[in-house]
Structure 1
């Protein structure tokens, strides 16, 4: 039996699946190891009482609590083998086993990850977000009784994050602009030119863009209204990125132009598709306009937005590519961590900074893994041979990026790895019903 095809059960789906986060906000990620299945089920049952549902107004999620589990975590809870076997194969393998396909090689390889990320000790991921630090602490005070003084459950890692009022990430670009609409959610997407996607692309138990139902963990009480979530800690080499821009440009104005061409947007968030010649901070700050555009219709060659730019790779929109773009759409969220490198500084200060990245979707392989391997770390789908994403790809000093212009394109060479994977996890974010199922002795 499947959920109603026309309306999402927002009271059963976690807010972390569908609800955009407030702006600005503070957040924290806490990882847990379960040493005793009974204690683990007690914790999951307590968390089920404080997890935020997707239903309600924006004000209702000023403070949101989300819970996800790794495959090792489900096993640690004592989930029956038949249920474990029903999860997606990629999820069962885990991110470490998928590292090569994801481009997590060299410095980004799991051998270099920040422990305990990527280890069998990571069982539960707790994410708490709030509009400011004071509200975050209040939300944590409400959550702590779920795990504190509970023998057999051990917090093993924490990462505090933030979204600044200007919504900029460490490289200096406004982030979190583009997100798809989900049919039946009542939550609009950021691009009115893009029809809402079928709910099954992001929530299990509903029809997806293929017209069928994504494979769902069994029993239905465990799988329905849940989804897969990918968490990744991505360290950003801000000083190196700045040095590359300076070495590639004749002056500061050209540095900004090159940065915009690599990203597909100016640092303000204004898209090159709408203002290709100069930045427009007012446009960049206007959520009603900053994502309302297509690529192929007005810019097939990429004179405004290069076909190989980060934004055009992550969401080609109407650009003709191999396959169907809507089959690879994702809900993506990035939360900055660490102190910003002061403006103008070109030498690394040794401090850790970057993004905690989250992907939400029903299909790990054809959404997250496809985009990472085929669109980020390859260029064949856009006719760019093996050119990688100029910002988040994984070249090691031998990358290149071409900026179309007349009469001669500008070609950048010597791109290095500006973003290094520091760790990550494949998780399952259960529904509220499933959390209670997992807390039950027979769960």
Structure 2
């Protein structure tokens, strides 16, 4: 078993993005760059180092806006990282997301041949994320990043996506998001779920013991791998009109429509968890960060309050799987950031307006396969672990086709049939966010 002694994170060397709480409200910009000249690439990294905040906690409001910098495998190779070091990265990172699309269930509309160019191609080398509470501070920070790239003819901006918190504070599907993040040991940030102890630091940051008590595999040399983390980046288009129409067709009235939506997600639109408030929405509960994550599923094994196949319960089963001893949920926890893009579909509209809207999903952790890929393939795409192998996640499940969704109920359960995919993958990348000292090392490669 992992030791109980808390480690001390080298926060002054860790990029803040993996540990920083997303502000609310927020605005964000994601930019992807291609490096055409190695010297220009190294100069870009050198210029970006002073712009990246460390993970040291601060009450300085100016630090509510920050930059995260990450690199693809091709980007690191272009910068001149030795092949021996490149080979030491995880196989999933080296292959890239597009090469693993079929395994992830990114097929049909979600297949790489339909992704936005240049996502999933060898043209993506550097990913820069800028996040801020307001547009003014975002533009200030983004301008500093632009100046770092200016007058470097060997650097090309190949993709950009602006994102922001919708006026409702919810996702395009209408649900409050960003609840249930794990606390990380040594980060200085307390857990919001008193039933869950902080994750071992090695689950999120390389160079520290993880939940197994061992050091996760780390890229070499030490200066390159330590205090870094893998980052999964995905653009997900949401079919909001299809989702609303499906609920309208299956519900007798608006009240039942809201209930069916909550059963599929595991929370009411306000964020109130079904595990605590199963029969009616409770906006005050949903808005309270001290209560909206304070629950477990172990006392509801059959899912009469929150269905075992609901999205939130599948993504994080909490204590529901402890009884059989086959799965340690803590080995599959991750830092998850979801930011909305595109305008909100007006309330009550049931027809698609042709506008692109959805979520930029970002995951940070040290085990791409054990964390992101496991949750995506074993819990979201496949229902074997809940005893329903033919039932995918009703909200973000497999793109392979329609699925069913079961709602336990006395005396007879209800089954929603032919639930279509409501999310389409528009592209993504596996990246590596190095430490600040690693960025300096990259900028000085011979």
Q: Post-superposition, which runs of at least 4 consecutive aligned residues in structure 1 deviate over 4 A?
A: none
d(CA) in 2 for partners of 1:339 and 1:123?
29
Do the aligned partners of 2:166 and 2:344 also contact (CA within 8 Å) in 1? no
Whole-Å separation in 2 of the counterparts to 1:60 and 1:199: 26
Q: What residue in structure 1 maps to residue 22 of structure 2?
A: 21
SS of the equivalent of 1:394 reads: coil
TM superposition shift of 1:187: 1.2
State the 1:56 CA deviation: 2.7
Q: Do the aligned residues in 2 keep the contact of 1:43 with 1:147 (CA within 8 Å)?
A: yes
| Other-structure match for 1:393 | 397
Q: Which residue of 2 aligns with 1:333?
A: 337
Q: Which residue of 2 aligns with 1:221?
A: 223
Matches within 5 A, 1:94-243: 94-164=96-166, 166-243=168-245
Q: Matched residues in 2 for 1:382 and 1:265: separation?
A: 19
What is the distance in 1 between the residues matched to 2:279 and 2:38?
A: 59
User: TM (normalized to structure 1)?
Assistant: 0.97
Q: TM-score under structure 2 normalisation? A: 0.96
For the pair 1:403 / 2:404, whether they are aligned, the reply is no
Determine the C-alpha separation between the residues in 2 that align with 1:353 and 1:153. Answer: 29
Deviations 1:248-270 (A, max 9, x none): 10011000000000000000000
The total of aligned residue pairs comes to 438
2:58 maps to which residue?
A: 57
* Alignment map for 1:335-350 (pairs within 5 Å): 335-350=339-354
Q: Cα distance, 1:60 vs. partner?
A: 5.0
Secondary structure, counterpart of 1:245 in structure 2: helix
After superposition, the C-alpha distances for 1:226-277 in whole angstroms (9 at most, x for unaligned) are 0100000000000000000001100110000000000000000000011000
Distance in 1, matches of 2:86 and 2:402, equals 42
CA contact (8 A) 2:203 2:365 kept: yes
How far the C-alpha of 1:441 sits from its partner, in A, is 3.0
Question: Quick check: 2:230–2:366 contact (8 Å CA) kept in 1?
Answer: yes
- Using the TM superposition, give the Cα deviation of residue 165 of structure 1 relative to its aligned residue in structure 2, in angstroms: 5.6
Farther off after superposition, 56-65 or 420-429: 56-65
Instruction: State how far apart, in whole Å, the 1-side matches of 2:57 and 2:19 are.
Output: 12
Confirm or deny that 1:440 pairs with 2:444: yes
Quick one: distance in 2 between partners of 1:180 and 1:395?
A: 28
> Displacement, 1:108?
0.4
Separation in 1, partners of 2:238, 2:41: 34
1:400 aligned counterpart, secondary structure: strand
Instruction: Extract unaligned runs of 5+ from structure 2.
Output: none
For 1:81 and 1:427, locate their aligned partners in 2 and report how far apart those are by CA, in whole Å: 17
- 1:61 is displaced (CA, Å) by 2.9
410 and 271 in structure 1: CA distance in 2 versus 1, 3 angstrom threshold? same
* Inter-partner Cα distance in structure 1 for 2:399 and 2:363: 22
Q: Considering only aligned residues, what root-mean-square deviation do their CA atoms show, in Å?
A: 1.2
Secondary structure at 2:13 match in 1: coil
Contact 1:309 1:390 in 2 (8 A): yes
Question: Contact 2:379–2:385 (CA<8 Å) still a contact in 1?
Answer: yes
- Asked whether the equivalents of residues 310 and 391 of structure 1 are also in contact (C-alpha less than 8 Å), the reply is yes
From 237, 247, 250, the counterpart of 1:248: 250
Equivalents in 1 of 2:191, 2:101: separation in Å?
A: 31
Q: Deviations over 1:294-338 (max 9, x none)?
A: 001x21110000000000000000011632100000110100000
Gaps of 5+ in 1: none
Q: State whether residues 5 and 207 of structure 1, in contact with CA within 8 Å, keep that contact through their aligned partners in structure 2.
A: no
Query: Structure 1 residue 49: deviation in Å?
Result: 1.1
Query: 1:398 deviation in Å?
Result: 2.8
- Structure 1 segment 66-81 matched on structure 2, within 5 A: 66-81=68-83
